[in-house]
Amino acid sequence: MKEYIVYTDGGYMLSKSVGAGAYVILKADGKTLLKQGSFLVKRETSQRAEVKAILAALEELPDNSKVRIVTDNLYATLNLGKIPKRKNKPDMDLLVSYKQLVRLKKIHVEFEWVRSHIGHDWNELCDSLCTETLDQALQ
């Protein structure tokens, strides 16, 4: 079973109705960058951008992987992998997609929450990727 560390971030500008999500995938050593990506979201929320970043990163991992997802989004840390009993959540589609993807690819996932903007290199890289993607879209 291959092991990875994934960092994610998501952000959203309500005034422009646009946001971005980003991820970096590292080897389990936490030092070797394997892949990074970012994307735009429109008419969504920062929560959804963050969860979509996690989904995008998981799509990139091989089947039967083990991954530690490090995020500064407490919502994602607490809610992914646990489908809430309340079925009318606005992001239920993403929670279900997460659960299906993990099951289909047989990925073992652990979450770690980190405080944002405290100088953690990989978290800051994800934040920068989001900012760059948003800046390019708004030009």
Sketch the domain layout of the chain as residue ranges: 3-138
Provide the sign of the torsion angle of the four alpha carbons 103, 105, 109, 113, taken in this order.
negative
Residue 18 neighbours by CB distance under 10 Å: 19
- Name the more confident of 69 and 83: 69
What are φ and ψ of residue 22, in 5° steps? -150, 155
* Closest by CA position to 74, among listed 118, 23, 115: 115
For the beta sheet containing 33-42, the strands, ordered from the edge strand earlier in sequence to the opposite edge, are 33-42, 18-27, 3-13, 66-71, 108-113
- Report whether pLDDT(52) > 70: yes
- Report whether pLDDT(85) > 70: no
Fold of 3-138: Nucleotidyltransferase; domain 5 (3.30.420)
d(CA 83, CA 38): 26
**pLDDT over 70 percentage in the chain:** 94
- Report whether pLDDT(88) > 70: no
Average pLDDT over residues 32-39: 97
Query: What is the β-pairing status of strands 3-13 and 66-71?
Result: parallel
